[in-house]
Structure 1
């Protein structure tokens, strides 16, 4: 949590956005606080009014951005009636959000994975809200008799998230050489083949 709690103000947002760019462009270990301050157009000391250190900035960045990310996915899923459509909305929104925010994609797919175990543990806690959305889709699909009843929810969640996550990572590492969003439909079709009660995707 930021040192000022909920009393953040515009400078907090400037620092968060600047941190995403600086970490993406320089890597977390080379992203000095002074660089973040310069990008955010604030004094170095201002950073410490909001954050304890660079690690606190990274955790706060992930918390803020992931919160918005999950909200976008929830909104996209909100008007969908079937679990199949909800899953597609999740995948499409996931890909669209990261394709439109390339610096953020670099941070999530590359830089966060290079942090130490303690930091990754904190990041994992923040990621739970997204995983809960996946659990909700899986539970609803099983309850409606659409998804296989014998399916292990943890394995299904890992399959879905792992596929989506690896797709974005490859896209980032290939330097955006193809349209990420266009992959949503075929990946959705592929995932449904393992989830649906019958062998045919709808």
Structure 2
């Protein structure tokens, strides 16, 4: 029974991502999400209070999976430089594979209310903390500058990747996001190398 409940929950989230990407968060009705997810309108309310909660849970779900991928991959990285490259590779590949979520994360989120953005910001925290731990590892390995402002650099790295993805979407995805990995990583490593 629990797996069937989880399956419906996931169906609703995946349906909502598609609907939000296609119609925008504000123009998306719960009925459209239900139709896309293949459930009755009322079923949505068994899992979520409202459309805003659906958006927050999308970020928890998608970013949770992303952080899991990061952690398993970064654990295999020989050093912090490789770990930074892994972060960028996984982030760009995930967004290139899941364009609907990329639109929701990059475009729709910016048009949401301050309260909603704050709630979603909480779901991003584990990702930011992961980047910080890699930066600290690099300092310990003596490959990153010891005088680096880690709290600032973690946001700069996340923000840079965020902006690259937004530009890619706005351009109509005319180029490969994966081709931007070397330029992104090289730029950052030059700035923080010890």
Shorter-chain TM-score bucket reads over 0.9
Deviation string for 1:7-37 (max 9, x for gaps)? 9431111101000000000000011000000
Residue number among 163, 168, 185 corresponding to 2:182 in the alignment: 185
What's the TM-score, normalizing by structure 1? 0.92
Match of 1:87 in 2: 84
**Residue of structure 2 aligned with 1:55, choices 52, 55, 61:** 52
- Kindly indicate whether the alpha-carbon contact (under 8 Å) linking 2:128 and 2:155 is maintained by their aligned counterparts in 1: no
1:145 deviates by: 1.5
**TM-score with structure 2 length normalisation?**
0.96
- 1:152 paired residue among 149, 152, 170: 149
Structure 1 segment 65-104 matched on structure 2, within 5 A: 65-104=62-101
C-alpha distance in structure 2 between counterparts of 1:67 and 1:61, whole Å? 10
* Residue correspondence of structure 1 range 1-40 to structure 2 within 5 A: 8-40=5-37
1:168, 1:58 → 2: CA distance?
19
Contiguous gaps of at least 5 residues in structure 1? 198-202
* Residue-pair matches, total: 193
Aligned to 2:39: 42
Deviates more, 1:173-182 or 1:154-163: 154-163
Q: For each residue in 1:76-127, what CA deviation from the matched residue of structure 2 results, as whole angstroms up to 9, or x when unmatched?
A: 2121111100000100000000000000000000111111111111111110
Q: 2:102 aligns with which of 105, 126, 135?
A: 105
What is the Cα-based RMSD across aligned positions, in Å? 1.4
* Per-residue deviation, residues 14-70 of structure 1 (Å, max 9, x unmatched): 101000000000000011000000111111000000000101111111111110011
Dislocated runs of 4+, deviation >2 Å = 5-9
| Higher helix residue share | 2
- Residue in structure 2 matched with residue 174 of structure 1 by the alignment: 171
